[in-house]
Structure 1
Amino acid sequence: MAAKGVERLLNVIMTIGSRRRIDRAKLFAVIPDYAGAASDQAAERMFERDKAAILELGLPLATERDVLDENTVYYRIDAGTSDAVLDLTTEEYTVLLAASRAWDDAAAGGAARRVRSKLLSLGHDADPDLLRRTPRGAVESLPVLSPLLEAVTAARSVRFTYRGTQGVPAERHVEPWVVGVHEGHWYIHGWDLDRSAPRLFRASRIESFPTAGPPAVQERPEQTDLASVLGAMHESDDQARAVVAAAPFKALALRDRAGAPLDAERLELPPLPRPAARRLVLADVRWGELLEPATWRAELAEVLTAIADVHEDEGDLAGVEAAAVRPEPRIRTTPTGADTLSRLISEASYVMERGEVDLAELSAALGVSTTQLITDLQVLFVCGDMGTGWEDLIEAEWEHGTVRVRNAEPLRRALRLSAVEITALLAGLAALEPSAGEAEAIVASARRKLLAGADCGSEGPPAPPTRDELAEAASVDEMASRTADRAESVLTAVHRALRADDDGDASRLTIRYSSTDRPGTSVRRIRPLRIDTDGTRSYLLADCELAGAQRRFRLDRIVEILPPGTPQERAGTGAGPTLDGLVDGQVWLRLDPPGRWVAESFDADQLRDGADGSTFARVDSPVRAALVDAVLESAGAVEVLSPRELRDTIVTVARVAGTRHTQA
């Protein structure tokens, strides 16, 4: 919808909404675009498109025929249903607004862009204290997500270009069943029409904007559990309960899986396939040792020895030089007319609810620049009720930094959320949940009201998704979403300190922190400032007395809240290597297909495709400890080619861990 179309549709909404009803003939006469259409048929087609857009916005457009003349059709905005949107408390509205901020609007597409605007049209005021304590960050925001969510909720197929683990892009035609998050990354599970079988796709490997295809024909399973689908990829007949020895307060992912206390030195994992257990242990092998089964222990020693042997000498960079640079996929989405119109209505509604609003405040609330905001207000200024003349145009003022909007009562209404927009909010809520703490009950009640507000009872094709299907479409695997919630007391204490928000003792905590880069734990006195999230992990930004500066702590690694007055101490005691900070400069990796996830996890700055099918990735200044752990977790599928000092570190770590597993 071009700018002219946005103005026309805004005029249609104002003209219909400003009166009890208006007949079709008069509407066609007073709306300039209809009156100036090349033919009656062209005006009819234009009006039918506009009606569909009004309904998509969530405005209750009603049609009725004259009781004396059935050829006369009247239109009105049904005021009787205008308040049937979401009945939210201030706290529930606040967490939904925070959930909308979890998306990167520029990358995620139309649904994410519209959600914040529509929430602002509800007319609520947010709780500033709760909003400050709600984590800021992003769900993994990809431009392909909006059309994929739309395909799930509309029960349609989609086509896209996909680069699988073998590295060769191919066209895929899929009927998506569920779009969900696992360990911070989006996946699509559905029926692959070309292969006539269920398939799983990682959203970050989609290299074209998905295009809608025909309606889905394959029956969707009653239950589609994304975590189970991913777990089945590691299925093996060789299953057992692995027993691991671990340093206290370390190997936290293994402890989560075992349900073991933080200071336990012996962990027993639930029954797992051998490949899954091997990957878990290798990821934390700096702090753990596999004790049983003996055959798995021997295999782990062989894997660690092989990793050390590969990294012993200089890396071979000849393959990197010969490999072709892979072009970066450019999937761009531009705001649609529906996005723009939704924002215009929300701006008008927001200002009219408050009488007047500071320009900078409105800009921050909408997440748009002041330049864009003024452009929007200029559009409002030239629109209005076309049925009574220019005196009934919208009055918009923004001089001296204060915004006022008058004579736009038809826009003073809440816009209903579509199924896709509800799904986007559910995903945002899932990102907030690990660090919700005392607000967890508010998040849960907001989710219930979102699902209850979904229109699941309408008739006609395609059948709308059920509430359970909407919740499932934004599902997050339980273990990943609850990692930061290991100790309820930690989150409770953090939120209490954030509420205090002063320089007194009430706003300070003494914590035991287990970092990933050094053995042992540190004890620190901190003043929490805010919680951030990146969609995978939650972090606490705080003033740290021990460091004498602000520091960022992973919430799931704050393992204990200690009594005030506990002496502070730095980490570094205990067995294990110290892998501080970032790697200085560029790191080149050679990746076999099973290890290509490492390039995605570290957001590789460049990828190259070798003639023999190998992939090379350049990662700039990665976190040293995280990259070493990833190389070990890949079980030999990833080799560091440069720099040499990082290769030497991997040799040392792998040899030490391998020796532990060869000793009786």
Structure 2
Amino acid sequence: MASKNVERLLNVIMTIGSRRRIDRARLFRVIPDYAEAVSEQAAERMFERDKAAILELGLPLSTERDVIDENTVYYRIDTSRSGAVLDLTTEEYTVLLAASHAWDAAAAGGAARRVRAKLLSLGHDADPDLLRRTPRGAVESLPVLTPLLEAVVTGRSVRFTYRGTQGAPTERRVEPWVVGVHDGHWYVHGWDRAREAPRVFRASRIESFPADGPAATQPRPERTDLDEVLGSMLDSDDRAPAVLRAAPYKALSLRDRAGAALEAEQFELPSLPRPAARRLLLADIRWVELLGPEGWREEMVQVLTGIAQGHEGGADLSDLESAVARPVPRIRVTPQSGDHLSRLISAASYVLSRGEADLAELAEALGITEKQLITDLQVLFVCGDMGSGWEDLIEAEWEHGTVRVRNAEPLRRALSLSAVEITALLAGLAALEPAAGAAEQVVESARAKLLAGAAGAEEDPGPDGGAAPRVPTRTEIAEATTADEMAARTADRAEEVLAAVHRALRADTDADTDASRITIRYSSSDRPGTSVRRIRPLSIETDGARSYLLADCELAGGRRRFRLDRIVEVLPPETPMSRPDAGEGPSLAGRVEGTVWLRLEPAGHWIAESFAAAELRDGGDGATYARLEDPLRAPLVDAVLESAGAAAVLAPQELRDTIVTVARGGAERHSR
């Protein structure tokens, strides 16, 4: 059931919105909670909190004084002010609706929960065909993001418990400058008050709900580029262009950096710092050989030999057995009254704009169960204009699966988006963008309107004539939602692939025709060579920095998921299908069945997060032990090699043997 606060707020909105204006004294008499408050001061405090909640919801609550008696204060919902209510085309609304689904609303916090409901209050109908073809995005969903984004908007500091690379949790007091996505993960960059220096924090390592602190005192830099800040951590005076030899159609990300052809056996990377180049090469070491600089080549031999030696024989498990299990951080994710209220208003607005709505469809649109929706409708049923008596309550019915709402005209309006909610939508758009294809122009126009809405909200005065809370500039929002790979355009070589995929997706989904199928060359990460497959695309999905294509595959005889950046080319329809040769060396196909234990040094902690470790333990030696369940074999082997010795597999033994074989093979290639 709804909290008492939600019912009171809804009654206040209905009472003020049902008339041209209402004076403060009468409002306090007709709203039961104000009238029954223990004192006039208590009612005043309650009303001030309610005003802030109504404004945060996006309703333009205005205050004015009587021209004759200035002690008389009136309140009204200012219908002339639209705030950041967006004027969207059907196509723009559709891609924004898809962007709102990029967040896991159950875990992400208030901004993510509110934004989808507010979009529904606009009264648009989505284009079902475009919605089917729009990529399904996935943004890392964390409950700590909303207070961090709000701190950027309001210019305040936050306090939270943070577990850094050294493993021990500490309390940090930070003035956030920018909250953004890099390589599919959220980071906070700002001023660390205790250390009196700029610092970067990975949001997934924050172990307490950020508490609001005092106003920020350190001037915010005019330009803050999160990618540059994170890139500088791997900077070095030792910089050079690396010369590589690579297997055809492999090491695709390195080929993109070099602008090299897919079949080129030798190419040169642009000048990079030595640590950054080493990490990139180790991640693809199964397919590449570093030819120069010579000193880097010698280092590669040392690193790979060390990894192999560290995995030879059986692992010593004594430290693992004595390590202490780390408790899972418990961060509140309970919906707040503002989240529930925005959903109630949006549900009423949605039904009022259509006359009636199907119960199941409305519940699905709001992202809740039918039972939750009926509970919401029961709340609407007991609320209304308190100034006219109980006969003017909202009428809601849901008999026979059809929802109707009457006597709720004040709720028939679009809810404006706050700067924080706009930022959440921009991040969702960034998740869709790499695979948007033909919808890219629609994504860009929707982004432009979001940014314009943010600028409009910045100029909008508060209800008492004062300045509204500061919202980020367009540049700041763009920087906050630009990801290293996720928001970047797909590489040039993939444009043809994307165009072919979108043409197939536009074909009739119920008709299995030649137009709905394409023939592709696919370069898998777990085996040498490539395969040729005839597939029928079904949908595009994004997960962090990666985009995937779900399709029916004739060669596999079933549904398969393909990484879009590994579809190297589209072939003529008559090209024969083929599988890659098994090749030499250990097979890295499929998953490691059962439990995998890793020992991680600070520089390797990212592996536990990337593979969603089921359990973490803190060892007395300062290391972290991570338990993974059924991880994909090839990506895990690549990650252990990429860590350059900061990660070691303890079990199972067969996986340790695989890493020895791969690392020894890489060292031998660089020793010739």
Q: TM-score, normalised by structure 2?
A: 0.96
**Alignment counterpart, residue 504 of structure 1, candidates 488, 508, 513:** 513
- 1:255–1:575 CA distance, 2 compared to 1 (3 A): farther
Deviation at 1:269, TM superposition (A): 0.8
1:466 and 2:442 are equivalent in the alignment = no
Pairing of 1:361-400 with structure 2 (within 5 A):
361-400=361-400
**Alignment counterpart, residue 518 of structure 1, candidates 507, 510, 527:** 527
Q: 1:97, 1:244 → 2: CA distance?
A: 44
Q: 1:601, 1:483 → 2: CA distance?
A: 22
Read off the aligned partner of 1:310 and give its amino acid letter: G
Per-residue Cα deviation, 1:207-255 (whole angstroms, up to 9, x for no partner): 1111110111101111111111111111111110001111111101211
Q: 1:17, 1:364 → 2: CA distance?
A: 28
For structure 2, the 5+ residue unaligned runs are 462-466
1:626 and 2:635 are equivalent in the alignment = yes
In the alignment, which residue of structure 2 is the partner of 1:325? 325
1:155 and 2:155 are equivalent in the alignment = yes
**Alignment counterpart, residue 565 of structure 1, candidates 549, 574, 578:** 574
* C-alpha contact 1:384 1:408 (8 A) present in aligned 2: yes
1:457 and 2:446 are equivalent in the alignment = no
**Alignment counterpart, residue 624 of structure 2, candidates 611, 615, 633:** 615
Read off the aligned partner of 2:312 and give its amino acid letter: E
Per-residue Cα deviation, 1:591-615 (whole angstroms, up to 9, x for no partner): 1111111111111111111111111
**Alignment counterpart, residue 546 of structure 1, candidates 532, 550, 555:** 555
Q: 1:458, 1:84 → 2: CA distance?
A: 9
Q: 2:518, 2:543 → 1: CA distance?
A: 24
Read off the aligned partner of 1:274 and give its amino acid letter: R
Deviation at 1:475, TM superposition (A): 2.4
3-state SS in 2 of match to 1:335: coil
Q: 2:145, 2:376 → 1: CA distance?
A: 27
In the alignment, which residue of structure 1 is the partner of 2:464? none
Pairing of 1:254-653 with structure 2 (within 5 A):
254-454=254-454, 455-458=457-460, 460=467, 463-477=470-484, 481-483=488-490, 486-500=493-507, 501=509, 502-572=511-581, 578-653=587-662
Q: 1:279, 1:84 → 2: CA distance?
A: 44
Deviation at 1:112, TM superposition (A): 0.5
Read off the aligned partner of 2:343 and give its amino acid letter: R
Q: 1:593, 1:65 → 2: CA distance?
A: 61
Per-residue Cα deviation, 1:121-178 (whole angstroms, up to 9, x for no partner): 0111111111111222420111111111111111111111111111111111111111
- 1:523–1:576 CA distance, 2 compared to 1 (3 A): farther
Deviation at 1:485, TM superposition (A): 6.6
In the alignment, which residue of structure 2 is the partner of 1:174? 174
Q: 1:3, 1:493 → 2: CA distance?
A: 51
320-329 vs 24-33, greater mean Cα deviation: 24-33
341-350 vs 309-318, greater mean Cα deviation: 309-318
* C-alpha contact 1:307 1:654 (8 A) present in aligned 2: yes
Report the identity percentage: 76
3-state SS in 1 of match to 2:188: strand
- 1:333–1:299 CA distance, 2 compared to 1 (3 A): same
In the alignment, which residue of structure 2 is the partner of 1:117? 117
- 1:274–1:576 CA distance, 2 compared to 1 (3 A): farther
Deviation at 1:403, TM superposition (A): 0.5
Deviation at 1:655, TM superposition (A): 1.1
Q: 1:390, 1:108 → 2: CA distance?
A: 38
Read off the aligned partner of 1:467 and give its amino acid letter: R
* C-alpha contact 2:458 2:468 (8 A) present in aligned 1: no
Deviation at 1:483, TM superposition (A): 4.7
Deviation at 1:101, TM superposition (A): 0.3
In the alignment, which residue of structure 2 is the partner of 1:244? 244
Read off the aligned partner of 1:323 and give its amino acid letter: A
* C-alpha contact 2:551 2:559 (8 A) present in aligned 1: yes
Read off the aligned partner of 1:658 and give its amino acid letter: A
Q: 2:580, 2:446 → 1: CA distance?
A: 41
Per-residue Cα deviation, 1:436-465 (whole angstroms, up to 9, x for no partner): 111111111101100101112246375332
* C-alpha contact 1:519 1:576 (8 A) present in aligned 2: no
Q: 1:437, 1:461 → 2: CA distance?
A: 38
Q: 2:252, 2:25 → 1: CA distance?
A: 70
- 1:479–1:342 CA distance, 2 compared to 1 (3 A): closer
Q: 2:615, 2:44 → 1: CA distance?
A: 51
* C-alpha contact 2:434 2:490 (8 A) present in aligned 1: yes
* C-alpha contact 1:311 1:648 (8 A) present in aligned 2: yes
Per-residue Cα deviation, 1:524-574 (whole angstroms, up to 9, x for no partner): 000111112222211111110011111111111111111111100012266
Per-residue Cα deviation, 1:253-301 (whole angstroms, up to 9, x for no partner): 2112212222222121111111110110010010000011011011101
* C-alpha contact 2:537 2:550 (8 A) present in aligned 1: yes
Deviation at 1:479, TM superposition (A): 7.4
Q: 1:84, 1:637 → 2: CA distance?
A: 48
* C-alpha contact 2:244 2:268 (8 A) present in aligned 1: yes
- 1:486–1:103 CA distance, 2 compared to 1 (3 A): farther
3-state SS in 2 of match to 1:482: coil
* C-alpha contact 1:287 1:576 (8 A) present in aligned 2: no
- 1:463–1:137 CA distance, 2 compared to 1 (3 A): closer
Read off the aligned partner of 1:392 and give its amino acid letter: D
- Aligned-CA RMSD value: 1.6
Deviation at 1:33, TM superposition (A): 1.4
1:223 and 2:216 are equivalent in the alignment = no
* C-alpha contact 1:435 1:491 (8 A) present in aligned 2: yes
* C-alpha contact 1:11 1:31 (8 A) present in aligned 2: yes
* C-alpha contact 1:518 1:576 (8 A) present in aligned 2: no
Q: 2:41, 2:659 → 1: CA distance?
A: 72
In the alignment, which residue of structure 2 is the partner of 1:253? 253
Read off the aligned partner of 2:480 and give its amino acid letter: A
In the alignment, which residue of structure 2 is the partner of 1:88? 88
* C-alpha contact 1:246 1:289 (8 A) present in aligned 2: yes
* C-alpha contact 1:183 1:480 (8 A) present in aligned 2: no
Deviation at 1:71, TM superposition (A): 2.1
Deviation at 1:72, TM superposition (A): 2.0
Deviation at 1:329, TM superposition (A): 1.0
* C-alpha contact 1:286 1:577 (8 A) present in aligned 2: no
* Number of positions where the alignment pairs a residue of Structure 1 with one of Structure 2: 663
In the alignment, which residue of structure 2 is the partner of 1:19? 19
Per-residue Cα deviation, 1:66-97 (whole angstroms, up to 9, x for no partner): 22222222221112224861111111111111
285-294 vs 486-495, greater mean Cα deviation: 486-495
Read off the aligned partner of 2:470 and give its amino acid letter: A
3-state SS in 2 of match to 1:456: helix
- 1:479–1:106 CA distance, 2 compared to 1 (3 A): closer
3-state SS in 1 of match to 2:119: helix
Deviation at 1:578, TM superposition (A): 3.4
In the alignment, which residue of structure 1 is the partner of 2:212? 212
For structure 1, the 5+ residue unaligned runs are none
Per-residue Cα deviation, 1:626-659 (whole angstroms, up to 9, x for no partner): 0110111111111111111111111111111111
Q: 1:421, 1:197 → 2: CA distance?
A: 29
* C-alpha contact 2:107 2:333 (8 A) present in aligned 1: yes
